[in-house]
Amino acid sequence: MESYIEHLITQSVAFSLAAVLLVTFLESLALVGLLLPGTVMMATLGAFIGSGRVNFYEAWAAGIIGCFAGDWISYYIGHRFKKPLHRWSFLKKHKSLMSKTSHALHQHSFATVIVGRFIGPTRPLVPLVAGMLDLKPLKFALPNVLGCLTWPPVYFLPGILAGVAIGIPAGAEVAHFRWLLLTAFVLVWLAGWLGWRWFREGKRSADWLSRYLPLGRLRWACVLAAVAALVALVMLVRHPLMPVYRHLLWQVMAF
């Protein structure tokens, strides 16, 4: 799949945008999104944006269209075929996830539709379940619009940052800068993930990681990751190549 998308992107601008639309559509389509490595594919597309092969705003627009199409088709499928879907063995295998999604939509439909778009397993399920629960179209539409507007650039971002870094002219400190950028990104992600687990402590069911990261250790790990991320970001900002990187990034993001 990824090699096919790369082939499309290298052909022309039209094919590039078609690839973006295809990925975002499939990532949002009911159940299909569960089978695709969406985060990897979106990061790959972001790398092409960062390298200048694809225009950021055109890709963003194509991504929005793909999201809307996938979400509303999923919503219609859930609404139109809710009875057969309840009996489908594939959904029964994901009964726990379906149950949690249904409960969240009942309690906080607005937040669930938005947040669900940014969480891999629930992204292709939330619109489907919303349709199965007969959530009113207008009640689904507003958070869906906000989610579809913001999701593509967020998931493109890691690839964009990597693509721009690859485009820095060769020099003595380029490798050091790239490794520092990668380290900073990983530490920021780790701090955010640990912070989310800390925030959700007591609200989620126990998993295998809970045995190794009880609340006391989780707090310390979160604080240490946040401090390490801050140090890495300061080093990154002060790096001699940062002005060059910032200029290249601005060129990608500018109209």
* Residues 54 and 133 reside in one and the same domain: yes
Q: What are phi and psi of 202, to 5 degrees?
A: 90, -15
Looking at residue 4, what is its pLDDT?
Answer: 58
Distance CA 222, CA 173 (A): 31
* Residues 23 and 85 reside in one and the same domain: yes
**Into how many domains does the chain fold?**
2
* Residues 146 and 184 reside in one and the same domain: no
* Residues 89 and 211 reside in one and the same domain: no
> Residue 247: inside a domain, yes or no?
no
Predicted TM-score of the model (pTM): 0.83
Which amino acid is located at 78 in the chain? G
Q: Take residue 76 and report the two structure tokens written for it.
A: 């219609």
**Cβ contacts of 92 within 8 Å, gap of 6 or more:** none
Distance CA 94, CA 102 (A): 12
Domain extent for 44: 2-157
From 132, 157, 182, the end of a domain falls on 157
Distance CA 155, CA 119 (A): 11
> Residue 66: inside a domain, yes or no?
yes
Inter-residue contact 15 to 9 (CB < 8 Å): yes
Burial of 74 (0-12, 13-18, 19+ CB in 10 A): buried
Tens of pLDDT along the chain (255 residues) come to 556 555 555 566 677 788 889 889 988 888 787 777 777 888 888 888 998 888 899 999 999 999 999 999 999 998 888 878 777 776 666 677 777 888 888 888 899 999 888 887 788 889 988 998 888 999 999 999 999 999 999 999 999 999 999 888 877 689 999 999 999 999 999 999 899 888 877 666 666 677 777 878 888 999 999 999 999 999 999 999 999 999 999 998 887
Q: What are the C-alpha distances in Å from 198 to residues 101, 120, 175, 205, 229?
A: 21, 20, 34, 13, 17
Q: What are the C-alpha distances in Å from 176 to residues 165, 168, 170, 180, 182?
A: 11, 12, 11, 6, 10
* Residues 135 and 187 reside in one and the same domain: no
Looking at residue 15, what is its pLDDT?
Answer: 76
Looking at residue 222, what is its pLDDT?
Answer: 92
Distance CA 240, CA 247 (A): 13
* Residues 121 and 57 reside in one and the same domain: yes
Looking at residue 13, what is its pLDDT?
Answer: 67
Looking at residue 150, what is its pLDDT?
Answer: 94
> Residue 110: inside a domain, yes or no?
yes
> Residue 30: inside a domain, yes or no?
yes
